[in-house]
Structure 1
Amino acid sequence: MLRVVCAGAVAGALLIAVPAAVHSPGADRGSSRPPVGAGAAASADPIEVAQARLREVPDDARALADLGGAYVERARVGGDASLYARARQALDRALALSGPGTPTRVPALVALAALANARHDFATGRDLAEQAIAADPYYAPAFGALADAATQLGDAEGATRAIQRMLDLRPSVASFTRASYDLELRGDVDGARVALDRALEGASARDDVAYCRLWQGELARRYGDPAGALGSYEAGLRVVPGDPALRAGRAAALAEVGRVDEALAVYAELTATTPLPQYLARYGELAQRTGHTDLARIQFRLVTAQFAVMDAQGATDDVARAMFEADRGDPAEAVRRAEAERARRRSVHTADALAWALFRAGRAAEAVPYALEATAGGWRDPEVLAHLAAIRAAVGTGGGR
């Protein structure tokens, strides 16, 4: 059972049963939500803060751990996968300076777990988080890293336990946003909204406020309230005007409420500075729907190029790549990518990706069990349900092999 409580007191509880199966990106098809609930960085640039400290004390292990973690977050938000190499360098040095039992070892392990999760090496992320918990069972961020890995590895019960422990240790933006995601994956969208409301109540740093507004917007948009989503995104942008994820969410919501020209303009500005595959793909899809076929073709080519950059930097996302190839590229390549990711982790996300890739490759009958698995635990994302419906219809009319 997951008990979502307010900081300082139990102001109410959400009790949910834990099903058998459990993400981006949500916001980004393929990985569901982006890495959940780490919260954004503090208002002062954390990279600059850590670098300033290291100029004074070059062997400060905690500053090195902070620097590595900040590089991971910057790479996630800005799409610069080259920062992962810098993060690894800083974190390896932090760990080398932190012997067993030292107070800086656990933050270094947790930052390394976050790096592994960001690169979709979730098994390593889980192992590093467990090492951190063994060293300090009261360090809440370690349970966050463990929950992220467990979610993506398909360990729903393990993810819920980790989130519950994080909530018990430190009710915060990081723990409540993870709880929201956990609830959503079980089909409790109302509970997910309540958890995000509680996260926002506890948010003080402007970046944390913006982060909560982002996920309120994502939840509203994906579950049928684009006008409410637009309000949430714009509230977040009033706090952090340049946030790429909020700008992308606003563009998607603008398109859904019929303000297409504005949406295209936002996507054009966003992808010029933050060419993440998911933003380019959304831009291309909107351009194609509105008759801008040449513009769409350019964006889809850029998506492929950005995936190649990510592969080169060790940040491969085969789920997102499979979904893109299934809809816009080579369905056979989509199946290959989805099967590769499925071999690494058996989550609802890989089940959905493989189901859709098989369907698009003309193998609907083979897709059925994976599509059913994706929704068996309660996940009711409309796009996932649409995949299931299309697959069932194809099999029912003889459209699958």
Structure 2
Amino acid sequence: MENEQEERRPRIRRRVLVGAVAGCAVLGGVLTLLPWGRQTGVPVSAPGARAMTAVTTGVPAALPDLAVLIGERESHLRDHPQDAESWAVLGAAYVEQGRRTAEPAYYPKAERVLRTSLKVRAKGNVEALSGMAALAGARRDFPTARKWGEAALKLEPRRWTTYPLLIDAYTGLGDHKAAKKTLDRLLELRSGPAVMARAGAVYRDHGWREDAAASLSDAAAAAEAPAERAAYLEHGGQLAWERGDRDTALRHFQEAVRLDPDQRAALAGQGRALAALGRTTEALNAYRVALAKQPLPQYALELGELYESLGLGQAARVQYDVLRERVRSAAAGGADEELVLGLFEADHGDPRSAVRRLRAEWRRQPGIAVADALGWALHRAGADEEALRFAKIATDKTKGGAVRSALYAYHRGMIERDLEQSGPARRHLQEALRINPYFSTLHAPLARQALDALGEPPDEPLPEES
């Protein structure tokens, strides 16, 4: 089976590459070629057209263009309130605006206008159904994203833009077989940079890092719009970071920000890479700028832990307060940040609270990241036997944990250490540092200390010959 996978993946990538030029032509072409391109007689400026091309094909839009599109749709709908498709476009634009700015207040607005679209045209409104799936995905509500995505797919099985939404939903639910099957169908229907990038994400989740890196590199090279190319470069930088390649990661992140100054995920990525390179002042500045424009709880946690690693406890506590406030803000907008809050509470707050939160998250959407976080929270709360069960789910390929994550391996190794399973603990701590020696400003040094304390494996005598 493994040989079959190795033979199949290059063929898949070649098939994607063959269609790249055609895919780019469609992405950069006229709106009548788009899945939502039936709109006629609707006034759209050049920036609005660029943003509409992006949001209706599920790729990143430049924030200035997005603002223009939103203004145009709002103005148009005041005079044409029965235009269901424009309501759907506006909803998709609100979702993208909320995602890019980390401002959850856009999500209730998106839901209102998408439901208005469904009210205006209840039957066959695949645009609004897809918008609702995208909204649920942005909120990290993967069961709901699956429900809306499957409803859209049932209406139009060959509508390729629905498939990436379902891939994200299945991944968030821990159903990697369904995600891979959905990708295979997408590859049959479509090619081009957006599909390459989605393939790269699935390959990464299966532990196929070389295939993932190649797909993301091809996507970035083929993308024409700067915001789209910047997003794929950021994904490539994150992949390089996950394997401990600080310099390559930093180059990807810097190029992404050069192409799109609003690419805040790449700025936060610069913070990670710069901190690992010992360029602490630059790292702090990169994180601060990223948080100012895209105040995600994850960035506040990373910045707080960087401050803590520098012995700046008060500055760290300020960021942890920011994290809590942003989680509350997300919840008010219907977005789920329980995963990052659970990890924060496990390490810096109340581990028992983390366990309660993450158990509920696991029941609702049992993805690999939730398994890892719940296992770690259980460990921090003193329940190591149960913790190991979830750590194995996050790291054992036979249970779906094929992602090569230094953090996941570290968590498992520390749990095994406290269970006095010295051999497995040593193996997983070594694996964590081999995957990415810089995976956390706080935890990577602790992994080294734990490994040193475990020492070398004992010399076992050879069995006597009978």
Normalization by structure 2: what TM-score? 0.76
1:397 to partner: Cα distance: 6.0
More helix by share: 2
Q: Specify the alignment match of 1:86 in structure 2.
A: 109
Does residue 1:304 correspond to 2:327, yes or no? no
Q: Does 1:208 align with 2:231?
A: no
Q: Which residue of structure 2 aligns with residue 156 of structure 1?
A: 176
Quick check: 1:220 aligned with 2:240? Answer: yes
Deviation at 1:7, TM superposition (A): 4.3
Written as runs of structure 1 = structure 2, the 5 A alignment for 1:228-243 is 228-243=248-263
* Partners of 2:19 and 2:191 within 8 A in 1: no
Aligned residue for 2:132?
A: 112
Contact 1:39 1:173 in 2 (8 A): no
Question: What residue is the counterpart of 2:164 in the other structure?
Answer: 144
TM superposition shift of 1:8: 6.5
Larger relative contact order, structure 1 or 2 (CA cutoff 8 Å, min sep 6):
1
In the alignment, the residues of structure 2 paired with residue 129 and residue 190 of structure 1 have an alpha-carbon distance, to the nearest angstrom, of 29
Name the CA shift for 1:281/1:8 in 2 (closer, same or farther; >3 Å): closer
> Can you list the C-alpha shifts for 1:142-177, whole angstroms capped at 9, x where unaligned?
111111111111111111111122222222333222
Of stretches 303-312 and 166-175 in structure 1, the one that deviates more from structure 2 is 166-175
Distance 1:41 1:6, change over 3 A: farther
Q: Which amino acid aligns with 1:81?
A: P
Q: Mapping of 1:307-318 within 5 angstroms? A: 307-318=327-338
Tell me the distance in 2 between the aligned counterparts of 1:202 and 1:168: 19
Superposed displacement of residue 364, structure 1: 1.4
| C-alpha distance in structure 1 between counterparts of 2:161 and 2:104, whole Å | 23
Deviations 1:85-140 (A, max 9, x none): 11001111112222424xxx112111100111222221121111111111111111
- Residues 337 and 173 of structure 1: is their aligned pair in 2 closer, same or farther, counting only changes over 3 Å? farther
Q: CA contact under 8 A between 1:106 and 1:135: conserved in structure 2?
A: yes
Match of 1:131 in 2: 151
Contact 2:94 2:110 in 1 (8 A): yes
- Matching residue of 1:272: 292
The one-letter code matched in structure 2 to 1:383 is: L
Q: Which amino acid aligns with 1:96?
A: K
Alignment counterpart, residue 181 of structure 1, candidates 201, 220, 223: 201
Are 2:206 and 1:197 equivalent residues in the alignment? no
- 1:200 Cα deviation (Å)? 1.4
- Aligned-residue offset at 1:59: 3.0
Question: 1:368 matched to which residue of 2?
Answer: 388
Question: 2:13: which partner in 1?
Answer: 4
Comparing 86-95 with 262-271, which one deviates more in the overlay? 262-271
Where 2:123 maps in the other structure, the secondary structure is: coil
Q: Secondary structure at the match of 2:18?
A: coil
Aligned to 2:267: 247
Measure, in 2, the Cα distance between the counterparts of 1:277 and 1:360. 21
Aligned 8 A contact 1:4 1:167 in 2: no
1:53 and 1:380 mapped to 2: Cα distance?
43
Stretch of structure 1 that moved more, 354-363 or 46-55: 46-55
Taking only the aligned residue pairs, the percentage that are identical comes to 35
8 Å contact from structure 1 (residues 5, 167) kept in 2? no
The alpha-carbon distance between structure 1 residues 80 and 203, as it changes in their structure 2 partners (threshold 3 A), is: same
Greater mean deviation of Cα atoms: 353-362 or 71-80 = 71-80
Q: Which has the larger radius of gyration?
A: 2
Q: Give the aligned partner of residue 404 of structure 2.
A: 380
Judge conservation of contact 1:43–1:205 (CA < 8 Å) in 2.
no
In 1: Cα distance, 2:176 partner to 2:326 partner: 31
Q: Which amino acid aligns with 2:405?
A: D
Q: 1:68 aligns with which of 91, 101, 108?
A: 91
What is the TM-score normalised by the length of structure 1? 0.87
**Separation in 2 of the partners of 1:43 and 1:7?**
28
Give the superposed CA RMSD.
2.1
* Distance verdict in 2 for CA 1:178–1:285, change over 3 Å: same
Q: Which runs of 5+ in 2 are unaligned?
A: 21-56, 423-466
Measure, in 1, the Cα distance between the counterparts of 2:212 and 2:120: 40
Q: How many residues align?
A: 371
* Distance in 2 of aligned mates of 1:266 and 1:155: 35
Structure 1: 5+ residue runs without aligned partners?
12-36
TM-superposed deviation, 1:60:
2.4
Between stretches 282-291 and 56-65, larger displacement belongs to: 56-65
What letter corresponds to residue 234 of structure 1 in structure 2? Q
Paired amino acid for 1:333: S
Q: Could you tell me how far apart the structure 2 residues matched to 1:198 and 1:368 are?
A: 38
Give 2:420's aligned residue.
Answer: 396
Q: How many angstroms apart in 2 are the aligned matches of 1:44 and 1:266?
A: 22
Kept in 2, the 8 Å contact 1:6–1:198? The answer is: no
Aligned partners of 2:293 and 2:62: how far apart in 1? Answer: 22
